[in-house]
Amino acid sequence: MEKIRVIIATNSVFMYAMVRRLLKEENVEVLKYVKSGYAALKYYLEFKPDLMLVGMELEDIDGIEAIKTIIEQDPDAKIVMLSEKKDIDTVVKAIKAGAKQFIAFPISRSELMAKLQEVLAE
């Protein structure tokens, strides 16, 4: 089975470490870790990952704007919004912006992988 190629975009070192730890033992290759929305777009276009994992907090623009920017360039992008809290307003904004899934932490490795596989199957 081919590795799932992802880029993680979040300003939260804690969020990055958590996601990285959960994905470490799975068939996932983290191509890049970025802290800004514009870097997320740049590296998305460069690497064309299977999945883009975007946190709400970024250095320049928020995660919702980053998702919109990526979707404008590639409407087929498979983006998952990551958050440390799950409030319905943020979930709705993320989905409207183009996220295929919203993942709130804490989450187990099996739940995370199931959600990522669900997005990949779309």
Per-residue pLDDT of 16-56, as tens digits, reads 999 999 998 898 999 999 999 999 999 999 999 999 999 99
Pairing between β-strand 28-34 and β-strand 4-9 as defined by DSSP bridges: parallel
pLDDT of residue 2: 84
Q: How far apart are the first and last CA of the chain?
A: 18
Q: Is the dihedral of CA 40, 2, 29, 51 positive or negative?
A: positive
Q: Which two tokens stand for residue 37?
A: 């929305």
Q: Which residues contact 106 (CB under 8 A, 6 or more apart)?
A: 18
Q: Which two tokens stand for residue 2?
A: 């081919």
Rounded distance, CA 57 to CA 82, Å?
Answer: 9
Average pLDDT over residues 61-87: 95
Q: Please give the tally of structural domains in the chain.
A: 1
Q: What's the CATH number where 30 sits?
A: 3.40.50.2300
Domain that holds residue 89: 4-121
pLDDT of residue 1: 62
Q: At what angle do helices 13-24 and 109-121 cross, to 10 degrees?
A: 80
